[in-house]
Amino acid sequence: MDFFKDKVVIVTGASSGIGLAAARRFGSAGAKVVMAARSLDKMLDLAPSVGEDVLCVKADVSVESDCREIIDQTIARWGRIDILVNNAGLSMRAMVRDMDLSVIRRLMDVNFWGTVYCTKYALPHLLASKGQVVGVVSIAAYSALPARSGYSSSKYAVRGFLDTLRIEHLKDGLGVLVFAPGYTSSNVRNAALTADGTPQGETPLEEGKLMSAEECADILARALSKRRSEVILTPLGKATVFMHRLFPRLTDRMTYSFIAKEKDSPFK
């Protein structure tokens, strides 16, 4: 896809899963790729598989100065930014009644504030290049998931933030894409926080049966090349968003039944 040739693309959360697959997708199409995440050594090992022009930046996106550093290092290296993919993210699995408040705070800090900080510092450069900003949200940004209150809240918030930004810059040539994967095979459920804030360390789903991170990244690349503003993935994800819009209370009951069948359901 020629669209990405020589474009400067930042991917947060590029050390694993969807972010890594997206970085490789952009790199293989000739982009200059900035990989940002906390695991610097892992990214340095992975960088040759991403492309020839790769910059790795160690950053915790919940820290404002780290996000500014991602943007500053990108500008120092290439002098422009064409695409920012806010992909770094964290999930959780605990009922509100059982959960330590630090869990919801951490989810908001990483998923919401991480997106806000990176977008704010990249914005002047994206406006100059008439570039694009992406928020990797979730179906949980449209229809809430029980035992993921912090996750759903943070993803709804990212959607609200980016939808607002799109309208603010409607006449300025800025592309704003809200990208909502459905269940995708990755490390996200292993890393998800439990009630006391420790990682779950396992997944309740059969990861092999889910959409692959590579397929998800291909769809993201296509959406960027068409400057789309919203993409909702997977048949289950599309059906959930559609049902939630038309029949919200029925969808609540269906979601309850769906999550009740999960391995180690939070309702038990």
32 SS3 class: strand
Binding of ligand NAP at residue 153 (CB under 6 A)?
no
118 scored as a contact of ligand NAP (CB under 6 A): no
Which of 117, 121, 142, 151 is catalytic? The answer is: 151
* 150 interacts with ligand NAP by CB under 6 A: no
Token representation of residue 164 = 């607002």
Residue 23 binding ligand NAP, by CB under 6 A: no
Q: Which stretch binds ligand NAP (CB under 6 A): 8-16, 120-128, 169-177, 258-266?
A: 8-16
Among residues 43, 163, 26, which one has the least CA distance to residue 81? 26
Pick the binder of ligand NAP from 23, 142, 181, 228 (CB under 6 A): 181
- The span of 68-76, 164-172, 182-190, 259-267 binding ligand NAP (CB under 6 A) equals 182-190
Distance (Å, whole) CA 229 – CA 24: 22
Least CB distance from residue 5 to ligand NAP, whole Å? Answer: 25
Give the count of beta carbons closer than 10 Å to the beta carbon of residue 95.
13
Q: Which of 160, 208, 202 is nearest to 183 (CA)?
A: 208
* Residue 37 lies near ligand NAP (rule: CB under 6 A): yes
124 membership: H or E segment, kind and range = helix 114-129
Question: Total binding residues for ligand NAP by CB under 6 A?
Answer: 31
Single residue of 34, 55, 94, 136 touching ligand NAP by CB under 6 A: 136
End-to-end CA distance of the chain: 48
Identity of the residue, 42 or 129, whose beta carbon is nearer to ligand NAP in the bound complex: 42
What angle in degrees, to the nearest 10, is found between the helix axes of 17-28 and 213-225? 50
3-state secondary structure (DSSP) of residue 86: strand
**Which of residues 38 and 222 has its CB atom nearest to ligand NAP in the complex?**
38
Residues 186, 18 contacting (CB under 8 angstroms): yes
Site for ligand NAP in 47-66 (CB under 6 A): 59-62
Q: Which of 6, 18, 14 is nearest to 179 (CA)?
A: 18
The answer to whether the CB of 80 falls within 8 A of the CB of 129 is yes
Task: Return the residue of 89, 131, 146, 150 that touches ligand NAP, per CB under 6 A.
Answer: 89
Is residue 151 annotated as part of the catalytic site, yes or no? yes
Pick 129 or 239: Cβ nearer ligand NAP: 239
- Catalytic residue IDs: 151
Residues that bind ligand NAP (CB under 6 A): 12-19, 37-39, 59-62, 87-91, 110, 136, 138, 181, 183-184, 186-188, 191, 213
